[in-house]
Every structure is written in C-alpha cells, then in structure tokens.
Structure 1
C-alpha cells in the first residue's frame, strides 16, 4: 500500500470538509468578518473527517464550533464576547455552541478562568501548536476564497484516528484524559497513545 503525500492528504481533507455545508457556511461568514489570523479549529474540523469515514452525518457528535483569531491591538474581553454573540445570533438556527477566542488574550483568560499563568501566544498558529492532542491541533481558514489548512503535526493522526498527546508545559494528563474520554464516547476505532 502506498502512503499518501501531505499534498494528497490535504486535498482529500479539504474535499471532505467542503461537504460539511454548516462548516463551510460558518467559514464563509467568519471570512467576511475579516478577523485577523482567524481559524475554525479543533473538534468540528477533525470530527467531520471521522464522521465521513464512519458514514455518519458530517456533524454527528460535534458539540461546538471553535473560532479563534489573533488581535493584539484589542485584548478586551467585552469585544471578544460581543463578537461571539454576533456569531451565535447569526447562526442561531444551526444549534451549535460557539466558542470564540482572541488568542492574543488567552493568557488573560487562563489566569482569570483557571488561575494558570501561560505566556502570551505570538499568533493563532502558536496557540494551535500547543493544544492538547495532535488531532486537536488543526485549523482551517480562507485566503483569497481558498481553504487553507494549518496542521502543525500533519494530517496522518486524523486519518488514522490516532490520539497523540502534545506534552507541552501548559498541558496536563488530566485534561488529555478528559478529552480522550469524551472522544471515545462518540467515536469508535480510536488509537489512543497514553500520556
């Protein structure tokens, strides 16, 4: 069996994502908002792929849509929440929970919500690089009407359903185990790499 190149994997990945009409509608809307350094990221992206190969509805088990952007010129929590409210209102008929975060202020959010001190991210990609698992560290965006994929650990783990921890200093075994347990409830045939 010949392995697919990263180009072939990316092409297949985008082709599958384009079939998730909800995700594409949301991506188009976020693109029109002109948010700096934005991505739809994490679960809604990789779970679409898993659902496709399980012959399930592409949105099966997707609990929320994570939207991130990076605006170091405005670290206001109120602006972030206002933007989230605007997106929720626009897509109220889709029945998703939307989590919208300015990754430039995530260090403030972590301090406030979890009493954790982390360094300020340099950009959205820096944030994605440090998320809890390789399948989770994925984002899609648009540039000039083309879908772009940011996958710092590649796409192989998503296609093979391999849950591999990212042992960054700000991550924990407890959070990883919680995420793994959640995914195991909704998806079969996962290859779990222990922390």
Structure 2
C-alpha cells in the first residue's frame, strides 16, 4: 500500500509495532480508514486520531496486563495514542462491554473479519523485508470507495447506528457514503 508506505505517521507506527516481534499483528480499523480517506480527500494534514488500533493474536496470554504492557512499550518507542487488543481475548470481555457474548476468535484474520464496518475490516502489517501485508477479509472496495456499511458478523443494527452518529463520517469526509440499516 503506497499510501501507508509514504505516510509520515503511519509507516513509523508500523515500524514501532514490528520492533516488538509480536507473532501475529496488524494496525487496523480506524487508523487505516483515516489514512486512506484522508488521502482520497487530499487532506494536507491527517485527521486527528483517537487511537492507533493494534490488533494482535496470542492465545497463550489473554490477560489485559499483557496488552497494557505492549501499549506501554509502544508509547516508549513511538509516543502515540495506541490501543492494543489481543483478539484472542475478545470473548472474555465483549459481553460486559457490548451486551452480548461472542465465540472465541480463531485467528487475527478471523478477528479483522468481524470488525464493525467492511471499510474498517482492514489491517496492515510491516514485514521484515519492509513489504506491507494487507488483511482484508471483505476486500478493499468499501475502503477505497469510502462506503460505510455494517458488518453483520458481530455488530448489531443499534450498535452500527450509534457508531454512525458518534463517528460523523460524512462531516469528516464529505465524499463518504453511509449505508443505512
């Protein structure tokens, strides 16, 4: 992805996460969406990020403390608003946060496939040879067409509607299209 490779904030973030040698990881969701949509809108400065979503998959340690430690290490390497989530542990806290239980995820790719909208169901990983791998189980059409569409895998209609209201996609990116439910 040329956009990610040439970004003054995204590529250093990829380098920082890669330096931790996590077995299975990506930067994804809103960080990738913002990067791409800002570029497609020709914004000179990146949109403000609430966080840089780092997803990883480690079934051997489901503790929140492990994610907090990774987040601390990332902040020391590259001060940014990191949010680290072990996707192998999502089933342990999802019900308390969102009101319904979910089955354990099988892999990082399985996790990315379950993220709220198809345009945000994308993750990028920087390999040792500096190539960028793309995880996009639903493809990249919605991301590059700037379409916000609910991913029914895990997100209820009510949650999707709340996200649309909260995120204000069209205010931030006027050419984005929101598909109603």
The equivalent of 1:5 in structure 2 is none
Contact 1:48-1:58 at 8 Å conserved across structures: no
What is the Cα-based RMSD across aligned positions, in Å? Answer: 1.6
The equivalent of 2:103 in structure 1 is 119
**Any idea what the Cα deviations from partners look like across 1:133-168, whole Å, max 9, x if unmatched?**
110100001233210111111111111111111112
Is 2:58 aligned against 1:79? Answer: no
Count of residue pairs brought into register by the alignment: 178
2-structure distance, mates of 1:180, 1:42? 15
The equivalent of 2:180 in structure 1 is 194
State the TM-score, normalized to the length of structure 1.
0.84
Deviation at 1:90?
2.7
Contact 2:109-2:135 at 8 Å conserved across structures: yes
Contact 1:20-1:59 at 8 Å conserved across structures: no
Is 2:143 aligned against 1:143? Answer: no
2-structure distance, mates of 1:149, 1:29? 17
The equivalent of 1:184 in structure 2 is 170
State the TM-score, normalized to the length of structure 2.
0.90
Question: Which ranges in structure 1 are unaligned for 5 or more consecutive residues?
Answer: 1-13
**Cα distance change of structure 1 residues 157 and 114 upon mapping to structure 2, 3 Å threshold:** closer
Is 2:116 aligned against 1:132? Answer: yes
* Structure 2 counterpart of 1:104, from 76, 84, 88: 88
**Cα distance change of structure 1 residues 67 and 58 upon mapping to structure 2, 3 Å threshold:** farther
Is 2:11 aligned against 1:24? Answer: yes
Runs (4+) of structure 1 moved beyond 4 Å?
A: none
Contact 2:170-2:177 at 8 Å conserved across structures: no
1-structure distance, mates of 2:54, 2:174? 26
* Structure 1 counterpart of 2:138, from 153, 157, 181: 153
**Cα distance change of structure 1 residues 41 and 76 upon mapping to structure 2, 3 Å threshold:** same
Deviation at 1:62?
2.6
